[in-house]
């Protein structure tokens, strides 16, 4: 009962983080005039579509102008443009939370929809496929290799992966991606330079899946090379620090098998900080990787964010920012629950 109440309080506090983030974001956008411009652009687009529809049914230009003016006034009232921006804060926050931000300026889905919620629904799975897969592989390599070398500090294997971690952390992903494209796509011609599918894409499900995996090799390899080193070194450090604690020495002095000591007294205690980086890394990956997706032309959340910034698409930028905040809050809540399960020292 006490645990459930504590987790409920934590959930409510994280929900307040979402609301406060939205409030601050809308205050900034309202004070700088972005909110007015975004809503005005949305109204103008709807008025333009409405005017085109009237041209085929009404021949009198004055009548069309009068009807369109009334329609525009109704829209501006509905969107709150007849009031100061500070009076629209509750309505704007609700619109952001429900992704009711109209249409994107230039981006559209493969089916032709420009609705922001449709764009996010289409791009999010693609980022999950590419970025989350890369982060998952890197984290798995880090846990396996990092735990292994932590048992042999100072060995050749430990020194090799320590140097590899420094090299991996230092190289930028965009540079690695361009280098891989030059080697494997331009010179060797064994892998495609970018995109998700060939042009035209295969129609059979099995062939389409293989084509997708073929196109994903280069971007996934780029991200794994750039991310795996830090995961390996992080896990090694956590496990090595835990292995030097007094309770581990006591367990060994009792004559417990080394496998049991490693599993129960070292890995389990070191798991929470490692798990924190895994969960937050996976959560961050859902936002996509702007530079990597741009280099390889991968139509995910990162490339969508880049296009929104370049075209100054305020509505799309707000929606994506809210998505990232929401993902982070959900990840934090998952961590709060897993901490209690993994580490018996954690109490509420």
**Could you read off the pLDDT of 173-192 as tens digits, one per residue?**
888 889 999 999 899 988 89
Interhelix angle 268-285/133-150, rounded to 10 degrees, is: 160
Instruction: Quote the pLDDT of residue 182.
Output: 92
My answer on whether 69 and 165 are in the same domain is no
15 versus 204: which is more confidently predicted?
Answer: 204
Instruction: Quote the pLDDT of residue 320.
Output: 81
Whether residue 342 has pLDDT greater than 70: no
My answer on whether 31 and 93 are in the same domain is yes
User: Cβ(285)–Cβ(127) under 8 Å?
Assistant: yes
Q: How far apart are CA 146 and CA 266, in angstroms?
A: 13
- 118: in domain: no
My answer on whether 93 and 9 are in the same domain is yes
My answer on whether 145 and 258 are in the same domain is yes
Instruction: Quote the pLDDT of residue 184.
Output: 92
My answer on whether 51 and 143 are in the same domain is no
My answer on whether 127 and 176 are in the same domain is yes
- 51: in domain: yes
Length, in residues, of the chain: 348
Which of 327, 305, 300, 329 minimizes the C-alpha distance to 317? 305
Q: How far apart are CA 144 and CA 235, in angstroms?
A: 9
- 111: in domain: no
Q: Which domain holds residue 86?
A: 2-97
- 110: in domain: no
Instruction: Quote the pLDDT of residue 287.
Output: 58
Whether residue 347 has pLDDT greater than 60: no
Instruction: Quote the pLDDT of residue 317.
Output: 79
Q: How far apart are CA 160 and CA 4, in angstroms?
A: 46
My answer on whether 87 and 181 are in the same domain is no
Mean pLDDT score of the chain: 80
Most confident of 20-29, 149-158, 262-271, 332-341: 149-158
My answer on whether 293 and 156 are in the same domain is yes
My answer on whether 155 and 260 are in the same domain is yes
Domain boundary, last residue among 45, 80, 97? 97
My answer on whether 286 and 331 are in the same domain is yes
Instruction: Quote the pLDDT of residue 344.
Output: 56
- 332: in domain: yes
My answer on whether 55 and 184 are in the same domain is no
Q: How far apart are CA 158 and CA 98, in angstroms?
A: 50
Instruction: Quote the pLDDT of residue 180.
Output: 92
- 104: in domain: no
The residue whose two tokens read 């406060």 is 20
- 206: in domain: yes
Mean pLDDT of 19-33: 75
86 versus 191: which is more confidently predicted?
Answer: 191
User: Domain of 226: which CATH number?
Assistant: 1.10.3720.10
Instruction: Quote the pLDDT of residue 286.
Output: 60
My answer on whether 147 and 275 are in the same domain is yes
Q: How far apart are CA 153 and CA 241, in angstroms?
A: 11
pTM, to two decimals: 0.71
Mean pLDDT of 68-94: 80
Instruction: Give the chain's domain count.
Output: 2
Instruction: Quote the pLDDT of residue 285.
Output: 63
Determine what percent of the chain is predicted with pLDDT higher than 90: 4
Domain boundary, last residue among 97, 112, 143? 97
- 102: in domain: no
Instruction: Quote the pLDDT of residue 260.
Output: 82
Domain boundary, last residue among 97, 115, 141? 97
Which of 180, 159, 188 minimizes the C-alpha distance to 226? 180
- 249-295 pLDDT, tens digit each: 788 888 888 778 777 777 777 777 777 777 777 666 665 577 888 88
């Amino acid at each position: 009962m006490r645990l459930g109440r504590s987790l409920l309080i934590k959930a409510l506090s994280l929900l307040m983080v979402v609301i406060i983030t939205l409030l601050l974001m809308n205050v900034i956008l309202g004070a700088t005039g972005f909110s007015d411009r975004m809503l005005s652009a949305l109204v103008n687009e709807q008025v333009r579509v409405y005017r085109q529809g009237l041209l085929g049914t009404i021949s009198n230009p004055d009548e069309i102008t009068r009807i369109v003016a009334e329609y525009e006034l109704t829209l501006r009232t509905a969107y709150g443009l007849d009031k100061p921006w500070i009076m629209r804060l509750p309505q704007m926050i609700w619109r952001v939370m429900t992704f009711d931000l109209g249409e994107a300026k230039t981006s559209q889905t493969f089916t032709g929809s420009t609705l922001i919620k449709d764009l996010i629904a289409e791009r999010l799975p693609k980022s999950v496929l590419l970025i989350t897969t890369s982060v998952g592989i890197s984290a798995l390599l880090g846990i396996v290799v990092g735990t292994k070398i932590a048992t042999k500090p100072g060995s050749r294997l430990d020194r090799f992966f320590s140097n590899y971690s420094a090299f991996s952390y230092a190289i930028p992903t965009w540079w690695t991606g361009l280098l891989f494209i030059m080697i494997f796509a331009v010179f060797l011609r064994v892998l495609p330079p970018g995109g998700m599918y060939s042009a035209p894409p295969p129609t059979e499900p099995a062939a389409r899946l293989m084509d997708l995996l073929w196109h994903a090799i280069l971007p996934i390899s780029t991200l794994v090379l750039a991310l795996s080193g830090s995961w390996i070194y992080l896990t090694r450090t956590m496990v090595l620090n835990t292995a030097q604690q007094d309770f581990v020495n006591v367990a060994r002095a009792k004559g417990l098998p080394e496998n049991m000591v490693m599993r129960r007294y070292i890995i389990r205690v070191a798991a929470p900080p490692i798990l924190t980086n895994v969960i937050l890394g996976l959560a961050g990956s859902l936002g996509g990787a702007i530079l990597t997706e741009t280099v390889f032309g991968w139509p995910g959340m990162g490339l969508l964010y880049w296009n929104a910034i370049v075209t100054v698409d305020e509505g799309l930028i707000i929606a994506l920012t809210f998505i990232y905040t929401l993902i982070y809050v959900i990840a934090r809540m998952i961590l709060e629950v897993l901490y209690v399960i993994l580490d018996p020292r954690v109490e509420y």
